[in-house]
Amino acid sequence: MATKKIAAKLSIPKGIVAAMEVDTEVSANVTAQINKILPVNSTSGTRTITPPTTTQNGAWFGVVDSRNKFDTQNCVVNFSADNKLQTSSSPLTLSVEGQCAIFVWSGVPAAGWLRIV
Amino acid sequence: MLGLCIQAPELKDRNGLRFWEAKPQAWAQLPKTFLRHPNGTAIYDIESANDARFNMVKSELFGTLPNEVKQDICFPPQLPAGTVAAWATPRTARIVYGNEPPMHIPDIWESGIAYAEGYKTFYDSLPNSFKENVWFQSGKEEILNFGQGLPDRLIQKHFSVKSAMIECVSEGYPARVATTHKLRPDYPGNAYWFYRALLNMYRDAYGHKVKLLFHEYKLDDGVTDTEDAVLLLAQFLIVMSRLIYESDTIDGGAYQQGAGTGTVNLIGRNENQEWVTTWLTQLWIEFGHVLINAKFIETEQIERPDYVSIEAYEFRSGTKYLLFCNRGSDEYINLPGKSVTLFSNREMKKTNWNNVLPAKSCGVIKL
């Protein structure tokens, strides 16, 4: 999926789009990469994506439903006590068709990632 | 974002003057798009539409202002809905039902459901012309998501109101959320990312068409007119201008400390019972002039220092300004070729710097 297409889908400001890089689509459970959007194909089953680890303020990663299947085969972003989402240690389930999510590292391990989209 | 809350218009100084009488020039100079009155917990003491303070604001205070300055109302739930019609003027803008419902469970509402039911009854009874302007309050996402250490009971109250109002919106009521908000130094991440995440939380809860009104943003309890207070307010105004430009989620906001007791107000009554202005006043005037009269210029958000908020604006004349806030850094930041004008100092004197953003500073840069 092209960067511009994803950006439009996410309503991401143009200033941020300039820095976006789209990763290779995956059909397996993988670890997302820093500063990339990961297209996830869940056509054949649910997927679990592990958030990357970082200490770099402003680092980000994203996940996008590249085959519009998250409503039937969910994508779980596996946040944990060691890698939190907005202070929560619970995994985040993406379950909306075509859903995208982008997370920015807060710089504070106790808070972890901030979901901005 | 340049609304002002007016909590206690009846306050007088030791000469018997109200703030707009004692400081007419400062009051006239303060940029303001609307006044929010009544507001705060004081709304629960209002007994009828013929409220003396409301009438004072309507006749005397608004008499000092041009017609384009509007009025937001925080509606007392104990009054009949028909009171809105009695209060309405051509200036009436938003009408918010109640004040901070989670904080008033169980003394005003027994639960979030009770608040939602009260809101629906209120909304349904209004003529369509008013319905378009009605807003509700939710649980606060910063409490629900970053409220570690707060009592469970408090968090449950916020959750209760949020859940009930999500249900309300799912029934077809408009997703217009008003929220109070504290300007705190310890929110995680840089301010831009934090507030983007906060908006996303409301969109997650109420859908992508949700509108958000910061109808009472304020410095935390006990904060005085310190450097931190100035920097927190500057940072919030700058970040909000970008977020308003980027999305149509934020409808506006009002600064709680417009005028009142204490020098954290833009016009504050000090311990000698005198109305005074402070460096917060200077900040509001300088930033407000740019934010109201100039348009936001899009610049890239990437690869900026985490601790600096800085945005560009252009007046119709073509003159461009930067507003900046270097809140988090103790370091000077090089800004080659730019002359920096600061007013962030206790003497409220403008200071000229060349080529650097001084540590712990905020101000205006003319390009």
Nearest to B301 among A15, A88, A115 (CB): A15
DSSP state of B63: G
Query: How much is the pLDDT for B225?
Result: 67
Q: Is the pLDDT of residue B289 over 90?
A: yes
Name the band, by pLDDT with cuts 50, 70 and 90, for residue B305.
confident
Residue-level pLDDT, tens digit, chain A, 117 residues: 566 666 655 556 555 565 678 999 999 999 999 989 999 999 999 999 999 999 888 789 999 999 999 999 999 999 999 999 999 999 999 999 999 999 999 989 999 999 999
Whole-number mean pLDDT of chain B?
91
Tell me which of B148, B299, B302, B303 to substitute to probe the interface with A (most A C-beta atoms closer than 10 Å). B302
Burial of A108 (0-12, 13-18, 19+ CB in 10 A): middle
Burial of B247 (0-12, 13-18, 19+ CB in 10 A): middle
CB contact under 8 A, A11 and B190: no
Nearest to B193 among A11, A88, A114 (CB): A114
Min distance A65 CA to chain B CA atoms (Å):
17
Q: Is the pLDDT of residue B338 over 70?
A: no
Mean pLDDT on B189-198:
92
Residue numbers in B near A19 (CB within 8 A)? 302-303
Distance CA B36, CA B72 (A): 5
Distance CA B342, CA B124 (A): 50
Name the band, by pLDDT with cuts 50, 70 and 90, for residue B348.
very low
Annotated domain spans of chain A = 3-115
Cβ–Cβ under 8 Å, residues A60 and A48: no
Residue numbers in B near A77 (CB within 8 A)? none
Mean pLDDT on B12-24:
97
Query: How much is the pLDDT for B14?
Result: 98
User: What angle is formed at CA B246 by the lines to CA A8 and CA B285, rounded to 5 degrees?
Assistant: 175
Nearest to B299 among A15, A86, A87 (CB): A15
Q: Is the pLDDT of residue B50 over 70?
A: yes
Which CATH code is given to the segment(s) A3-115?
2.60.120.640
Name the band, by pLDDT with cuts 50, 70 and 90, for residue B111.
very high
CB contact under 8 A, A86 and B200: no
DSSP state of B98: S
Residue numbers in A near B303 (CB within 8 A)? 19
Q: Is residue B102 helix, strand or coil?
A: helix
Token pair belonging to B125: 């009874």
Query: How much is the pLDDT for B63?
Result: 94
Query: How much is the pLDDT for B344?
Result: 47
